[in-house]
Amino acid sequence: MSIAPKTPKELVEFVQKEGIQVIDLRFMDFPGIWQHVSIPASSFDEAFFETGLGFDGSSIRGWQAINESDMLMRPAPETAFVDPFFEAKTLVLSCTIHDPVTGQDYSRDPRNIAKKAEAYLKASGIGDIAYLGPEAEFFIFDDVRFDQTQNQGFYYLDSVEGRWNMGREEFPNLGYKVRNKEGYFPVPPTDQHQDIRSEMMLTLEAMGIPMEMQHHEVATGGQSEIGMRFAPLVQMADNLLKYKYVVKNVARKHGKTATFMPKPLFGDNGSGMHVHLSIWKDNKNLFAGDGYAGMSQTAMYAIGGILKHAPALLAITNPTTNSYRRLVPGYEAPVNLAYSRRNRSASVRIPMSHTSEKSRRFEFRCPDPSCNPYLAFSAILMAAIDGIFNKIDPGQPLDKDIYDLPPEELAKVPHTPGSLEKALEALEKDHAFLLKGDVFTKDVIETWIDYKMTHEVKPMDLRPHPYEFVMYYDI
């Protein structure tokens, strides 16, 4: 697979040289699903990067009203890659969204918000670049079925390595099922997805994304993780979209299905997306110092900002009702808002496996991969900047196993919201830090809260849960 160049002129030459037939234009909708439209390569020239392509913004979730539906997408040349899955040779470009009348950036375009977050960091004088490193986990299943009607509701998932299949007739059943909470690092034949994950990793690498590792994760039923190298905020969000795209399509190629749903299985670990953050200025890591765990005072203030705003942050970093099935005690989920070195039960952890100045960072462990990465990464950075500006003290570290604390001590530790509704309520009360620099506008916050309440929280509240029949049918 050829790696595409990154300037308009070079891309036009690349399309001609490589025999590209189709240009696929993509953008992220408001909730966080990648959308696309394709044009023939014959329509692609340097002018296209300015003229862009018009489309109906009223058909995109959370965007325009029908009376002001016309929108314009313009491709970002630095995002180009050759698609590894389409039959016709296709060049993919991510786009930013603009008002066709004024030409201004569209305020609800997630990629534009992320670009504004990067610009705000520079304008603040605090730093000139933020590096993020997300660890997005996912499940690979063999079969998935679900439905919800007026008189029934169900879901069904299956995996050849699922612990629940120990006694299934498989003609023959060869065993090697992954025990609950024991899926971390076993070799094949217990790990039955090595080749698929390697193909995912190598496909991403061929697309120009630096990779670090791939492995089976803790849960049974095919939980996995592939590690990407850190990158600047907007680029990392671009990369995460490619990551999810490749994972899903390689799985489909092998007759399997992949999901980034945070908690698809009962009784085992869910899928998180721990996000590593460091801020740099003049090629120097501002988080490196001689304080706690080798961190600077700037880093401590950034942690203070994350912990203070965490309940509101979760409305963006953990934006589904299912997210809060994962954020419960007992499954390595960081439900307690504290920080620590090494301790993985804290919501903010300072990794100690790399101790060089360049590698100093902290890890926010609450987020999950159901989020819109442009919005989530921007919100995390804005909370960190607010902590630095206002010198927010994160308090004392919690270098104990939080889950083993006595009740009276645990009661003193703040915890994450218990539902999406509670997180949205926190965001409604605490979002001024997101409005700085016009990064998130008031309209974006209001639209986000309204969309989530109307389309996700309330519809979930209205429907009976299957387990309610187990508990209450004979009442």
153-158/257-259 β-pairing: unpaired
- DSSP code per residue over 392-418: ----S---S-GGGS-HHHHTTS-B--S
Catalytic residue among 29, 135, 161, 421: 135
Question: How many CA within 13 A on the CB side of residue 350?
Answer: 23
3-state secondary structure of 216: strand
Catalytic residue status for 408: no
Give the DSSP letter of residue 457: I
The residue with tokens 């308090």 is: 395
Catalytic residue among 83, 217, 386, 456: 217
Angle between helices 233-253 and 194-206 (to 10 degrees): 130
Catalytic residue status for 108: no
Residues in the chain: 475
Residue 330 zone, left/alpha/beta (φ > 0; ψ -120 to 50; rest)? left
Structure tokens at 265: 């299985």
pLDDT of residue 1: 61
d(CA 152, CA 149): 5
Nearest by Cα to 436 from 293, 287, 286, 309:
309
d(CA 143, CA 169): 16
Catalytic residue among 29, 83, 118, 137: 137
- The CA-atom distances, in angstroms, between 178 and each of 184, 317, 363 are 9, 29, 28
Catalytic residue status for 56: yes
pLDDT of residue 2: 65
Catalytic residue among 118, 191, 363, 456: 363
- Each residue's pLDDT expressed in tens, for the chain with a length of 475 residues: 668 888 999 999 999 999 999 999 999 999 999 999 999 999 999 999 999 999 998 889 888 775 678 899 999 999 999 999 999 999 999 999 999 888 899 999 999 999 999 999 999 999 999 999 999 999 999 999 999 999 999 999 999 999 999 999 999 999 999 999 999 999 999 999 999 999 999 999 999 999 999 999 999 999 999 999 999 999 999 999 999 999 999 999 999 999 999 999 999 999 999 999 999 999 999 999 999 999 999 999 999 999 999 999 999 999 999 999 999 876 678 888 999 987 667 899 999 876 788 999 999 999 999 999 999 999 999 999 999 999 999 999 988 776 677 888 878 889 999 999 999 999 999 999 999 999 999 999 999 999 999 999 999 999 999 999 999 999 9
Catalytic residue status for 217: yes
231-232/129-141 β-pairing: antiparallel
8 Å CB contact between 159 and 140: yes
pLDDT of residue 403: 66
Amino acid sitting at position 99: D
- R_g of the chain, CA atoms, integer Å: 23
Structure tokens at 112: 């534009």
Catalytic residue among 163, 325, 365, 431: 365
Looking at the DSSP bridge assignments, the partners of residue 228 are: 211
The residues, any chain, with a CB within 8 Å of residue 133's CB and separated by 6 or more, are 228, 229, 230, 231, 236, 275, 276, 277, 361
Catalytic residue status for 274: yes
Which strand (E) or helix (H) includes residue 48? helix 48-51
Q: Is the dihedral of CA 217, 231, 324, 455 positive or negative?
A: negative
Catalytic residue status for 363: yes
Catalytic residue status for 344: yes
Structure tokens at 155: 């879901």
Catalytic residue among 225, 238, 268, 386: 225
Nearest by Cα to 84 from 174, 178, 202, 180:
202
Catalytic residue among 13, 45, 46, 56: 56
pLDDT of residue 354: 65
pTM of the complete model: 0.96
d(CA 318, CA 411): 23
Catalytic residue among 26, 274, 326, 415: 274
Give the DSSP letter of residue 337: -
8 Å CB contact between 35 and 26: yes
8 Å CB contact between 265 and 142: no
8 Å CB contact between 361 and 278: yes
Which strand (E) or helix (H) includes residue 138? strand 129-141
The residue with tokens 């696929």 is: 24
The residues, any chain, with a CB within 8 Å of residue 187's CB and separated by 6 or more, are none
Q: Is the dihedral of CA 397, 402, 404, 407 positive or negative?
A: positive
